[in-house]
Amino acid sequence: MTKRALKRQLREGAFDAGQFAGDDKIRRLPLDRDRGWSPLAHHNSNDERDQGYLKTIKAKSPGQEQMIKAIDDKNLVMALGPAGTGKTYLAIAKAVEALESGSVGRIVLSRPAVEAGESIGYLPGDAEDKLAPYLRPLYDALSDRLSMKRVRALMAEGAIEIAPVGFMRGRTLNNAFIVIDEAQNCTYVQLKMLLTRLGWHSTMVVTGDPDQSDLLAEFSGLRTVAEKLEAVGNIAVVRLADRDIVRHPLVAEMLGVL
């Protein structure tokens, strides 16, 4: 077939299936109109899938639903609960949602640089390299909500900041969504300092599990701070339980006996 004939078929939309009848290796791709999705633009009207990278947040337990509602209603939320209840993920997901909608101008994520029961010695590199292993869980949660390329771009322009607790003193965080993760590894004095960083038009979510502190029980301030702030009407203290665990089912079973 000449190039002119091919161009005419392409232009006019004509297709003669008989021209390939003698060749068993060539098959015309069938157009299944019953499929739920087609790459053709005029079939996308029936596509109900969320094709964006940013996924919609849906609560998977009553505790998670309570936490999401508290974040929407209050400027300061403390979410306490066992591992696997989605505390950090929900907090960062709501932070990304607020940034993308324009409700806040930046996201500030903070986490104490405390080792989990063992010393790994001195780490090479500059301050950012030394802190990277401690802040890795925050990067993981961010990359699950945004592509890594987008995360790097937002960090480069200052819209997302990840900082250890030790660098937060003296700051006032206005027009920001602040997430304090692993707060059970903060002392009472550190938590008091962090909570008072809250500025105008900002939301702060503090997450942690008082039963999994890497500090001695008398040094961890999360439980004490949460008990005192429960009496403040404009602050929400959400207590997640074993039934809210959305990780592997064995996690809930283990925590029930450990």
For 29, 137, 150, 203, 254, the CA distances from 183, given in Å and listed in that order, are 56, 14, 27, 16, 22
Cβ atoms of 218 and 70 closer than 8 Å:
no
Q: Tell me the C-alpha distance between 1 and 85, whole Å.
A: 63
The whole-angstrom separation of Cα 188 and Cα 219 is: 7
pTM of the model: 0.73
10 Å Cβ neighbour count for 68? Answer: 20
pLDDT at 225 over 60: yes
159 exposure class (CB count in 10 Å sphere: 0-12, 13-18, 19+): middle
Measured between alpha carbons, how far is 66 from 86 in angstroms, rounded to an integer? 12
Given a cut of 70, whether residue 239 has pLDDT beyond it is yes
122 pLDDT tier (thresholds 50, 70, 90): low
Lowest mean pLDDT among 26-30, 75-79, 139-143: 26-30
Integer Cα distance of 75 and 245 in angstroms: 25
Share of the chain above pLDDT 70, in %: 71
- Per-residue confidence at 8, pLDDT binned at 50, 70, 90? low
Q: Which residue has the higher pLDDT, 168 or 252?
A: 168
Better pLDDT: 53 or 58:
58
Q: Which two tokens stand for residue 101?
A: 């909608």
Please give the Cα distance from 228 to 140 (Å, whole number).
Answer: 32
Give the span between the Cα atoms of 68 and 90, in whole angstroms.
7
Q: For residue range 65-84, what is the model confidence (pLDDT) as tens digits?
A: 999 999 999 999 999 999 88
| Residue ranges of domains in the chain, CATH in brackets | 3-46 (no CATH), 62-257 (3.40.50.300)
- Average pLDDT value for residue range 207-216: 87
Name which of 16-30, 53-67, 189-203 the model is least confident about: 16-30
Average pLDDT, the chain: 80
Mean pLDDT over residues 82-107, rounded?
A: 92
pLDDT at 41 over 50: no
Residue 146 · residue 96 · CB < 8 Å: yes
198 forms bridges with which residues in the sheet?
173
Specify the higher pLDDT residue, 21 or 137: 137
pLDDT of residue 190: 93
137 versus 71: which is more confidently predicted? 71
